């Protein structure tokens, strides 16, 4: 018979027999700590299998109730207390715990087991009437919110009103009589909302709470978190039932959260916060601003020393930074939870390097600890130190980075702004797990309450979002949709900038500067380069981008889009002239004007990448893209005719409209573009080839080493490639003879339609390299128009799991990937040394890079700022492979 319930001592987290998938991260770590002698309150875990069983069948396994009752009895014996015992009651917490940490996304109930009778037992047990009633009011509110689904704000209003009337600031200032009155009013809310009394049977409370936690696996915020973090929906959560210990027993009690190293900077120093006379949710929710953990050494030196020692034990045991929750009850320290600490990209890099230097982990393990997408955040802009700006407020520097946008005051408004293409900054008194969808799309988060371990801070760090928390200098009114700072009223829609690295808040948009690679970051990338096989190039269309790519470690340019060079103000009129030409001489006349400009473009690119290959794609888009739209021209012409003005311009417009009409296509993506342009207008290819080779010869004479690679786009038949390669080779010979110098070059093609992939063996007889243009290859394989698909239905496909991912963001390995593997295999049968790369946007997406390594490509090419991501992903491919 399947076992579903495990006491803490029965499980294990680490090693080959680790039980995280079964017990969830929290349950497995509680078991692990119990086994190594850490003082953990006793309890038991109901496995993730129960969650998946429930969501599949809509009910629980028949044996669960009996197992749960046995576990409760065992817990009663361990604690020397009784569930429902009026004299010596056992109280428990009920918490979620998935195999992959999802902080705050699912539900928790504390102080479970209290009713009017066990309350008296708790008072007798602790000798602390105030603490007992405080625990009771917390339990009623939390249970009502999580289990009975009564809006928590109804309870908060009563609490706030009571404090306001008494002139109190904090909950712990309320007297016993105040709390008794609050408990009575809380019960009235339940009676009114549910038309029945608050449940007073502890066993029923436990059953209902376990059910609520399992159901919370399917709540909106948990689903959204899994989507954002690519966590499978079928993992399920475990439920942990643990004996309560109380941090709200008075001045010798408290609760807190701490990291073994700074999760924001990576500094090797205990980092965290605590509150005296409080329970755990007070710290996370930011209801009171907590004290830094270092201050605990002054208030409770013995407990601090003990806690500091335990943090070192746990970090050395897990060989990773730990995020630890603790409670001190009457000077006795208890560890409630440990888990791998979420950290910023900056911290992740520093911690990984430091742990290698401390001989705790290997270089290979350090590389595995850093997710490739995570380091993309290290390349975000920072506030320009030369900017003459004055902060209107300062809070806690909770998560680094600069966030700028229009202020919004609720998560839904942030989502709306994102859909409308507006950048937003989410302003809250404090965030809650229900804000996760808004936090995901906002440029940053600013809260007036909470500390460095508050919900806003922890989630922002995990997402890589800038966050300023606990900014008490601002007064937030979510109802009025405004906040006040330095006497200024900032309203919804106003632009604000936050600096999560300093905690500063600025009015308006502030100038930023490009980031620099730190020594630790450079070292991580150096280690990655020793592990990877796959080359990494960059997509760049101008010398500045090429220089940036080289700075980030690019080993060449994998895609230089020449069409981008024709959109400049000085070139577009000439390009228009070339398109409007009625005959070959006129067209060549315009092309001769473009030739020196194109040559200078290539000189700049090849000079910036001296000694490294530069893959230059010939003109790809249809010609109408260089002309004004048909609609715009007609409107201008109609306006002039109505006004009876400018006959000369009217004639020009008539000609232009006729030309645009002749170039219009039903489906331009599959129309007259790519190599088809060069075949119909060979003079365009001739001009571009001449510019490439003249630029190369000029640099060769200067003593540089240009390595041009000419790429023919959109080939679907080998004869198309032969046609264009002949033009390139003839022009190369002509230029080399004229300049009395030769430059080594290659001519290859972009594989971006299925027929090219299917006939790759034939194309490889003539092509010296392939480069997969996966954006178009994805469009032509799926039969999708990207703009239409992403705008109209693709999000629904992903949401309904028709497709696992957006195939334009993550390579479709089953379809497009199979075409790539087929083309590589057939191409190399023909030409074993055929060089093969990828130059679509997928070249910087980690899982796609790993696929490319497995498909035996030579290199990937991506935007300059994704080059470090691709370098690390390529190393992961070898380490994990």
The residue among 365, 366, 348, 340 whose CA lies nearest residue 25 is: 340
Phi, psi of 564 (to 5 degrees): -65, -25
In 708-792, alpha helices (H): 718-739, 754-758, 760-763, 774-782, 786-792
In 581-714, alpha helices (H): 584-608, 630-643, 647-663, 675-680, 682-701
- Lay out the sheet containing 92-98: strands in order across: 5-7, 43-46, 237-243, 92-98, 108-112
CA distance 541 to 539: 7
CA distance 42 to 701: 79
Q: What is the 3-state secondary structure (H, E, C) of 532-544?
A: CCCEEEEECCCHH
Residue pair 112/202 in contact by the 8 Å Cβ criterion: yes
Q: What does the block give as tokens for 549?
A: 């790519």
Of 437, 455, 624, 842, catalytic: 455
CA distance 436 to 764: 50
Residue pair 739/775 in contact by the 8 Å Cβ criterion: no
The vertex-845 CA angle with 844 and 847, nearest 5°, equals: 135
Of 839, 842, 862, 876, catalytic: 839
Beta-ladder partners of 709: 615, 746
Q: What is the 3-state secondary structure (H, E, C) of 162-214?
A: HHHHHCCCCHHHCCHHHHHHHHHHHHHHHHHHHCCCCCCCHHHHHHHHHHHHH
* H or E element at residue 229: helix 220-229
Q: CA torsion sign, 276 to 277 to 280 to 286?
A: negative
Q: CA torsion sign, 776 to 779 to 785 to 786?
A: negative
- Verify whether residue 862 is a known catalytic residue: no
What are the Cα distances from residue 216, in Å, to 98, 435, 640, 705? 11, 15, 64, 62
Instruction: Give Dmax over CA atoms of the chain in angstroms.
Output: 104
CB burial of 432-456 (b: ≥16 within 10 Å; e: otherwise) equals: bbebbbbbbbbbbbbbbbbbbbbbb
The residue among 732, 718, 720 whose CA lies nearest residue 765 is: 718
Residue pair 29/337 in contact by the 8 Å Cβ criterion: yes
CB atoms within 10 A of CB 479: 7
- Verify whether residue 560 is a known catalytic residue: no
The residue among 570, 666, 580 whose CA lies nearest residue 627 is: 580
Q: What does the block give as tokens for 561?
A: 């889009």
Three-state DSSP at 14 gives coil
The vertex-600 CA angle with 739 and 866, nearest 5°, equals: 120
CA distance 469 to 449: 6
Residues present in the chain in total = 881
The residue among 606, 617, 506 whose CA lies nearest residue 561 is: 617
774-782 helix and 816-830 helix, angle to the nearest 10 degrees: 120
CA distance 237 to 240: 10
Name the residues annotated as catalytic. Answer: 455, 839
């Amino acid at each position: 018979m399947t076992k579903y319930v495990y006491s803490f001592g029965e499980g294990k987290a680490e090693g080959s027999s680790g039980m995280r998938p079964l017990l969830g991260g929290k349950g497995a770590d509680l078991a692990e700590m119990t086994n190594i002698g850490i003082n953990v309150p006793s309890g038991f875990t109901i496995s993730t299998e129960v969650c998946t069983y429930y969501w599949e069948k809509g009910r629980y396994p028949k044996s669960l109730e009996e197992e749960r009752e046995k576990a409760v009895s065992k817990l009663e014996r361990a604690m020397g207390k009784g569930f429902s015992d009026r004299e010596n009651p056992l109280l428990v917490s009920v918490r979620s715990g998935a195999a992959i940490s999802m902080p705050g996304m699912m539900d928790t109930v504390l102080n479970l087991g209290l009713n009017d009778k066990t309350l008296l037992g708790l008072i007798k047990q602790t000798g602390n009437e105030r603490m007992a009633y405080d625990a009771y009011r917390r339990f009623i509110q939390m249970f009502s919110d999580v289990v009975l689904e009564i809006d928590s704000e109804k309870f908060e209003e009563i609490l706030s009103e009571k404090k306001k009337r008494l002139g109190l600031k904090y909950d712990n200032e309320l007297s016993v009589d105040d709390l008794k009155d609050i408990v009575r009013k809380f019960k009235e809310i339940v009676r009114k909302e549910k038309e029945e009394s608050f449940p007073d049977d502890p066993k029923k409370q436990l059953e209902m709470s376990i059910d609520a936690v399992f159901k919370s696996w399917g709540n909106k915020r948990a689903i959204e978190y899994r989507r954002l973090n690519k966590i499978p929906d079928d993992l399920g959560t475990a439920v942990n039932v643990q004996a309560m210990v109380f941090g709200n027993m008075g001045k010798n009690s408290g609760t807190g959260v701490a990291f073994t190293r700074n999760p924001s900077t990576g500094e090797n120093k205990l980092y965290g916060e605590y509150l005296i006379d409080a329970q755990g949710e007070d710290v996370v929710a930011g209801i009171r601003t907590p004290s830094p953990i270092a201050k605990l050494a002054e208030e409770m030196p013995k407990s601090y020393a003990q806690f500091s020692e335990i943090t070192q034990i746990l970090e050395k045991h897990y060989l990773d930074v730990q995020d630890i929750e603790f409670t001190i009850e009457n000077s006795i320290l208890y560890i409630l939870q440990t888990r791998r600490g979420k950290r910023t990209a900056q911290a992740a890099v520093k911690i990984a390097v430091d742990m290698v230097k401390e001989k705790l982990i290997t270089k290979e393990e350090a590389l595995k600890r850093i997710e490739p997408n995570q380091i993309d955040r290290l390349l975000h802009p920072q506030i320009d130190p030369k900017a003459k700006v004055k902060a209107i407020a300062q809070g806690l520097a909770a998560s680094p980075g600069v966030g700028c946008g229009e202020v919004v005051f609720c998560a839904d408004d942030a989502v709306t702004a994102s859909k409308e293409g507006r950048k937003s900054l989410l302003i809250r008194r404090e965030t809650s797990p229900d804000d996760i969808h808004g936090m995901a799309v906002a440029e940053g988060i600013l809260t007036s309450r909470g500390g460095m371990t508050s919900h806003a801070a922890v989630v922002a760090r995990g997402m890589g979002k800038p966050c300023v928390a606990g900014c008490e200098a601002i007064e937030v009114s979510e109802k009025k949709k405004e906040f006040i700072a330095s006497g200024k009223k900032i309203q919804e829609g106003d632009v604000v900038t936050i600096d999560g690295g300093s905690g500063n808040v600025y009015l308006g948009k502030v100038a930023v500067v490009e980031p620099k690679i730190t020594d630790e970051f450079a070292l991580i990338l150096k280690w990655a380069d020793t592990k990877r096989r796959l080359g990494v190039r960059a997509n760049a269309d101008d010398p500045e981008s090429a220089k940036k790519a080289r700075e980030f470690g690019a080993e060449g340019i994998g895609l230089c889009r020449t069409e981008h060079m024709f959109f400049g103000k000085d070139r577009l009129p000439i390009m228009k002239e070339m398109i409007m030409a009625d005959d070959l001489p006129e067209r060549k006349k315009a092309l001769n004007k473009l030739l020196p400009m194109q040559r200078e473009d290539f000189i700049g690119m090849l000079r910036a990448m001296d000694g490294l290959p530069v893959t230059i794609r010939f003109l790809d888009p249809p010609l109408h893209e260089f002309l004004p739209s048909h609609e715009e021209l007609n409107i201008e012409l109609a306006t002039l005719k109505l006004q009876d003005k400018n006959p000369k311009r009217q004639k020009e417009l008539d000609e232009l409209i006729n030309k645009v009409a002749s170039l219009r296509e039903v489906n331009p993506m599959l129309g007259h573009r790519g190599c088809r342009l060069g075949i119909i207008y060979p003079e365009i290819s001739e001009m571009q080839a001449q510019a490439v080779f003249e630029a190369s010869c000029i640099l060769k004479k200067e003593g540089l080493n240009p390595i041009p690679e000419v790429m023919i786009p959109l080939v679907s038949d080998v004869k198309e490639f032969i046609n264009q390669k002949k033009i390139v080779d003839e022009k190369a010979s002509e230029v080399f003879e004229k300049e009395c110098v030769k430059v080594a070059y290659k001519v290859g093609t972009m594989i971006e339609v299925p027929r090219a992939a299917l006939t790759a063996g034939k194309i490889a007889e003539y092509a010296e390299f392939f480069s997969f243009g996966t954006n178009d290859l994805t469009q032509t394989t799926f039969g999708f128009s990207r703009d239409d698909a992403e705008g109209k239905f693709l999000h629904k496909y992903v949401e309904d799991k028709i497709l696992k991912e957006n195939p334009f963001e993550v390579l479709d390995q089953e379809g497009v990937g199979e075409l790539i593997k087929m083309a590589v295999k057939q191409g190399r049968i023909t030409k074993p040394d055929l060089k093969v790369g990828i130059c679509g946007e997928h070249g910087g997406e980690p899982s796609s890079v790993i696929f490319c390594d497995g498909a035996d490509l030579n290199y990937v090419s991506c935007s300059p700022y994704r080059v470090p991501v691709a370098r690390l992903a390529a190393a992961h491919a070898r380490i994990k492979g």
